[in-house]
Amino acid sequence: MRDHELVIGGDSVPGDDGHFAVIDPASGQAFARCPAGSPAQLDRAVDAARAACGEWQALSHAQRCEALTRVADDIEREADELARLIVREQGKPLALAQSEIAGGVAWTRYAAGQEIPVEWIEETPTQRIELHHRPVGVVASITPWNWPFMIAVWHIMPALRAGNCVVSKPSSLTPLSTIRLVEIIARHVPRGVINVVTGQQGLGSAITGHPGIDKIVFTGSTETGQRVMRASAGNLKRLTLELGGNDAAIVLPETPVAAVAEEIFQAAFLNMGQTCSALKRLYVHESQYREFAEALADIARRQVVGDGLEAGVTFGPVQNADQLALVSELVDDARAQGAEVLCGGERLDRPGFFYPPTIVTGVSDGQRLVDEEQFGPVLPVIAYSDVEDALRRANASSMGLGGSVWGSDEVRAQAVASRLESGVAWVNCHAQIQPNTPFGGCKMSGFGVEFGLQGLLEFTTPQLHYVRTFPTK
């Protein structure tokens, strides 16, 4: 069983508190050991990052961009090893893990090519007013277990591009691909610019309250995001919070089932449904309700469930035992209230945390499976009779990450989508994201954005320059 180490100040070091096991969700057994960092090691990582700020910020924009380009090159060279590591710790099929690495490369190259603009607000014969953007300082990245490599890239690369230094804290369930990412970055940046600390209990709280950290970018549950926000008040940390989502999709009447069923299925079951912006509630007009549900169930039955490293597997396990228990609980609760489970609906009788793709009908708002974010391989299909009522029900959630509307009349679909209370509104697609488009939620799904120029500027603080010109004689 391989041991891994922290990266602090450019050095690889063991954890002060020993190691903890990393579990392969396909077997339920430990396959590696991760260092358990201490609060003192977090302090050293923050100190190293702060000490490196001057050197990193003194480099030109071009030099920082060149460093990120070299990082992208190394990720690409080591893609196969990284993808296999993701499968072992997270569980997704190898093809999806390879896509995650490819996405990480693309996002890194995009960050390397981004410009940080200077806005000229006013220019007169006597003065010039410019808006500049300075690095925030030390950024802490706290990432979840569903897309461990990709989300770390989303957090770290724009932070570095903007001139900040970073302390990364990955989920204790999936820490290894992030450690490898930090090791790659550390080859190309001054010592202390990038650091990673891992641990099971208390380390996240120590980060959120740490006075040496200037900004936190956090992706995770709404409940944890609220704790991050409260703990960050001490030194008024800047925050970007991408929190939970219970994304609704509305299928308008007369939408061709065969044309969209596969895309809807993939949007709902992306990464075994373990994606914040996955489609989690599907509202279908009663005239097509049964046809849509059966079409989705047929696609679900065709999935090959198994270990992500096995050939032909299209659907991996749930990442951890707690999430598997929640998914099972929500489906059992719906079944007890009279719901019909068209396919799946039971944990597979084999080692690991396997739950097949599950389509549930006969449910409605007010039931846990509809109202709560299941974050797993289950999709409730809900009948509606009136589009206005479907829109009202879609917006009734306290969350507002994303939402979509599907229909052959794109103008009508966009008109409905524009009334969704969500940070992103998709038409005839769902969970589409790009490095050049800002992404973020509203309501209890968080605030701030990632990606694009707006996402890059989240890692800066504005500084206004008033430049007065001496009068000429």
Task: Report which of residues 202 and 37 the model is more confident about.
Answer: 37
Contact 258, 227 (CB under 8 A): no
State the Cα–Cα distance between residues 270 and 23, nearest whole angstrom: 21
- Tell me the per-residue pLDDT of 161-204, one tens digit each, with 9 for 90 and over: 999 999 999 999 999 999 999 999 999 999 999 999 999 878 99
Asked if 286 is an active-site residue, the reply is no
- Tell me the per-residue pLDDT of 79-118, one tens digit each, with 9 for 90 and over: 999 999 999 999 999 999 999 999 999 999 999 999 999 9
Do 237 and 303 belong to one domain? no
Q: Is residue 437 part of a domain?
A: no
Q: Is residue 408 part of a domain?
A: yes
Instruction: Name residue 292's amino acid.
Output: F
Asked if 429 is an active-site residue, the reply is no
Do 293 and 359 belong to one domain? yes
Do 98 and 141 belong to one domain? yes
Do 239 and 258 belong to one domain? no
Do 237 and 285 belong to one domain? no
Do 133 and 251 belong to one domain? no
Span 127-152, average pLDDT: 98
Please check the confidence at residue 279 and state whether its pLDDT lies above 90: yes
The pLDDT value recorded for residue 201 is 79
Q: Which of 34, 276, 343, 450 is catalytic?
A: 276
pLDDT cut 70: percent of the chain above it: 99
Q: How many domains does the chain have?
A: 2
Do 236 and 260 belong to one domain? no
- Tell me the per-residue pLDDT of 206-229, one tens digit each, with 9 for 90 and over: 999 999 999 999 999 999 999 999
Span 247-274, average pLDDT: 98
Contact 235, 215 (CB under 8 A): no
CATH classification at residue 393: 3.40.309.10
Q: Is residue 433 part of a domain?
A: no
Averaged pLDDT score across all residues of the chain: 97
- Tell me the per-residue pLDDT of 303-355, one tens digit each, with 9 for 90 and over: 999 999 999 999 999 999 999 999 999 999 999 999 999 999 999 999 999 99
- Tell me the per-residue pLDDT of 3-29, one tens digit each, with 9 for 90 and over: 799 999 999 999 999 999 999 999 999
Q: Is residue 454 part of a domain?
A: yes
Do 358 and 256 belong to one domain? yes
**DSSP-assigned beta bridge partners for residue 315:** 305
Q: Is residue 118 part of a domain?
A: yes
Q: Is 57 helix (H, G, I), strand (E, B) or coil?
A: helix
User: How far is Cα of residue 382 from the mean position of the Cα atoms in its chain?
Assistant: 27
Q: Binning pLDDT at 50, 70 and 90, where does residue 377 land?
A: very high
- Tell me the per-residue pLDDT of 426-446, one tens digit each, with 9 for 90 and over: 999 999 999 999 999 999 999
The pLDDT value recorded for residue 471 is 73
**DSSP-assigned beta bridge partners for residue 238:** 215
State the Cα–Cα distance between residues 162 and 158, nearest whole angstrom: 6
CA 363-266-217 angle, 5° bins:
95
Q: Is residue 471 part of a domain?
A: no
Calculate the alpha carbon distances from 387 to 280, 300, 381 in Å: 18, 27, 15
The pLDDT value recorded for residue 150 is 98
Do 134 and 98 belong to one domain? yes
Contact 211, 234 (CB under 8 A): yes
Please check the confidence at residue 63 and state whether its pLDDT lies above 70: yes
Do 231 and 252 belong to one domain? no
Please check the confidence at residue 398 and state whether its pLDDT lies above 70: yes
Q: Is residue 360 part of a domain?
A: yes
The pLDDT value recorded for residue 1 is 61
Q: Is residue 435 part of a domain?
A: no
Span 221-247, average pLDDT: 96
Q: Which of 5, 89, 100, 242 is catalytic?
A: 242
Do 282 and 189 belong to one domain? no
Segments forming the whole domain that contains residue 125: 2-243+445-464
CATH classification at residue 47: 3.40.605.10
**Whose structure tokens read 């006013």?**
122
Please check the confidence at residue 452 and state whether its pLDDT lies above 80: yes
Do 313 and 333 belong to one domain? yes
